[in-house]
Amino acid sequence: MSKKTVTRQIYEKVFELLEESPEGVRWTDLLKRIGESNPEFHPKTVNGCVWRLVEKYPDRVYKPSRGVFRLKKYKEGVN
């Protein structure tokens, strides 16, 4: 039985939240909602994951404006 790492759990939650918000999610809202989803996530770990989100998943996430994260599949002209 394999257990998911904390960072993997955080990234799964990030993508779940981004999926629910096609218009994108602001940095502060993302941090807050991830923290609320599991109080055991250390805030610095959550921050680090969000900080590296575009770098780690450039094929899935982009920043349409400063402080906003959005899934690339919702970008205009991209299907």
| Segment 22-41, tens digit of pLDDT | 999 999 999 999 999 999 99
pTM for the whole structure: 0.87
pLDDT attached to residue 3: 79
* Domains of the chain by start residue, with CATH: 6-74 (1.10.10.10)
Q: What is the pLDDT of residue 38?
A: 95
Q: Mean pLDDT over all residues of the chain?
A: 93
Q: Which two tokens stand for residue 5?
A: 């790492």
Determine the Cα–Cα distance for residues 44 and 64; give it in Å rounded to an integer: 24
Query: Which value, in Å, is the radius of gyration of the alpha carbons in the chain?
Result: 12
Nearest to 76 by CA among 58, 64, 65, 60: 64
